[in-house]
């Protein structure tokens, strides 16, 4: 009798993070039965798996049910050699590894997925930091493979004790959710987008200072589209900063929105910025923006430089706001002074990102690892 193969994905939650979004793009292209287990539940989880062929179980103590617990116990005791557990992020890697230890007689495979560069105790949660250290010191024998989404992430983890023999890189894959089009504004309007949660890692201080200088120095019409958790009018510190720097009137706040809406904004924007100071491995928003020919300006963290290549600008983490303002103006000039060349470069950027970062290519590589 043939036993059905199953992919069991363990992840902290299905909120709007990079790992979560990539997993949900990947699942429809995986051939086997897919089961998602979250360790805590967010308000977005059920909506995000809607219309996807996936079973969902949450172990969040505040949201789980007797049915979920029963289904989970039946699942783990039925694990067999045809099953693969893919864990996403350190805490889930640790949880999956404990399952393997508890069920030591079973032959299922475990694949860890690392989606960030090496962290410090000041940069991520205490639980994530503890999990990272337990994994690297004690549990390297557990996974069959360790998949990283950037070369920089893999190199940093190898230095911290991760297994070289088990490690490999599979870049994130994407698909366009929106048609490629422009804002219907005046010809000289310019649209800048920044997609990142409101957090010190994302360096909003540098972003806002750069935009202030750009506005003061060049006196041009532009909009700054701010997308991410905490970017709303309830954030009094944010509003105060925007007003003090005289850029409030240029800013549009979207807060946390779904990926389709984000892609619609990418398709209408001219440039995208990401000025993170640490923690990025493969910044999804850069590649996603490039799918629409939206040129990125980003700090050189993780594999950012490799993602952008010649289709944008990579700057040092210590770069000045004046430098970023100058780069923004460079793209403004190209669009308004040589529109034919602008359109040509946008098309080249779109094609490059679409060919290099396709979700189909990523899915095929995951299947090779699972089946090997």
Mean pLDDT of 325-339: 95
Q: Can you give the pLDDT at residue 184?
A: 47
Other Cβ atoms within 10 Å of 190 Cβ, number:
24
Q: Which residue has the higher pLDDT, 1 or 244?
A: 244
Map the chain to HEC letters: CCCCCEEEEEECCCCCCHHHHHHHHHHHHCCCEEEEEECCCCCCHHHHCCCCCCEEEECCCCCCCHHHHHHHHHHHHCCCCCEEEEEECHHHHHHHHHHHHHCCCCCCEEEEEECCCCCCCCCCCHHHHHHHHHHHHHCCCCCCEEEECCHHHHHHHHHCCCCCCCEEECCCCECCCCCCCCCCCCCCCEEEEEECCCCHHHCHHHHHHHHHHHHHHHCCCEEEEEECCCCCCCCHHHHHHHHHCCCHHHEEEEECCCHHHHHHHHHHCCEEEECCCCCCCCCHHHHHHHCCCCEEEEECCCCHHHHHCCCCEEECCCCCHHHHHHHHHHHHHHHHHCHHHHHHHHHHHHHHHHHHCEHHHHHHHHHHHHHC
Q: What was the pLDDT predicted at 3?
A: 63
Give the largest Cα separation in the chain, rounded: 73
Residue 1's pLDDT band (boundaries 50, 70, 90)? Answer: very low
Q: Which residue has the higher pLDDT, 250 or 372?
A: 250
What is the mean pLDDT of the segment spanning 22-33?
Answer: 93
pLDDT for res 159: 97
pLDDT value at position 92? 98
Mean pLDDT of 18-23: 94
For residues 183 and 63, the model is more confident at: 63
Cβ contact 37:50 at 8 Å: no
Calpha distance 171→169 (Å, rounded) = 6
What pLDDT sits at residue 187? 56
Q: pLDDT of 111-154, one tens digit each? A: 999 999 997 777 778 899 999 999 999 999 999 999 999 999 99
Q: What digits encode the pLDDT tens for the residues 224-242?
A: 999 999 999 999 999 999 9
Mean pLDDT of the chain: 94
Cα 171 to chain centroid, rounded: 11
Question: Could you tell me if 132 and 119 are in contact, meaning their C-beta atoms sit under 8 angstroms apart?
Answer: yes
> What integer pLDDT is reported at residue 2 of this predicted model?
54
Out of 101-105, 178-182, 256-260, which region has the weakest mean confidence (pLDDT)?
A: 178-182
The listed range with the strongest mean pLDDT (28-32, 310-314, 337-341) is 310-314
User: 68: Cβ–Cβ under 8 A, 6 or more apart, which residues?
Assistant: 57, 58, 59
Q: Each residue of 274-315: pLDDT tens digit?
A: 999 988 999 999 999 999 999 999 999 999 999 999 999 999
* Least confident piece of the model among 45-59, 62-76, 174-188, 251-265: 174-188
> Is residue 185 pLDDT above 70, yes or no?
no
pLDDT recorded at residue 186 = 46
- Going along the chain from its start, the domains and CATH numbers come out as 6-173+358-371 (3.40.50.2000), 190-356 (3.40.50.2000)
């Amino acid at each position: 009798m043939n036993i059905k193969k199953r992919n069991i994905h363990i992840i902290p939650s299905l909120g709007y993070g990079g790992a979560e979004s990539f997993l949900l793009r990947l699942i429809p292209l995986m051939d086997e039965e897919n089961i998602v287990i979250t360790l805590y539940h967010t308000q977005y989880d059920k909506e995000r798996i809607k219309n996807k062929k996936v079973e969902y179980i949450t172990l969040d103590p505040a949201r789980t049910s007797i049915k979920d617990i029963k289904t989970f116990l039946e699942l783990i005791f039925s694990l067999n050699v045809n099953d693969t557990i893919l864990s996403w992020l350190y805490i889930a890697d640790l949880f999956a590894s404990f399952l393997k230890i508890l069920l030591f007689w079973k032959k299922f495979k475990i694949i860890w997925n690392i989606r960030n560069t090496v962290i410090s105790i000041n940069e991520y949660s205490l639980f994530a930091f503890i999990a990272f250290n337990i994994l690297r010191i004690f549990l390297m024998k557990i996974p069959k493979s360790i998949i990283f989404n950037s070369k920089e992430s893999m190199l940093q983890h190898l230095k911290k004790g991760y297994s070289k023999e088990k490690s490999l890189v599979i870049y994130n894959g994407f698909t366009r959710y929106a048609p490629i089009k422009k804002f219907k504004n005046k010809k000289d309007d310019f649209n800048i987008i920044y997609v990142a949660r409101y957090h010190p890692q994302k360096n909003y201080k540098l972003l806002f200072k750069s935009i202030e200088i750009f506005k003061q120095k060049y006196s041009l019409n532009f909009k700054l589209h701010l997308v991410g958790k905490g970017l709303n009018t309830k954030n009094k510190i944010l509003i105060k900063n925007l007003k003090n720097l005289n850029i409030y009137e240029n800013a549009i706040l979207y807060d946390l929105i779904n990926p389709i809406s984000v892609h619609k904004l990418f398709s209408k924007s001219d440039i995208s910025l990401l000025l993170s100071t640490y923690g990025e491995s493969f910044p999804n928003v850069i590649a996603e923006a490039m799918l629409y020919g939206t040129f990125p300006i980003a700090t050189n963290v993780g594999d950012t430089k490799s993602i952008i290549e010649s289709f944008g600008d990579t700057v040092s983490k210590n770069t000045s706001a004046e430098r970023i303002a100058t780069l923004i103006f460079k793209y403004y000039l190209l669009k308004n002074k040589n529109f034919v060349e602008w359109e040509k470069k946008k098309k080249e950027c779109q094609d490059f990102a679409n060919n290099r970062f396709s979700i189909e290519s990523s899915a095929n590589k995951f299947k090779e690892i699972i089946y090997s």
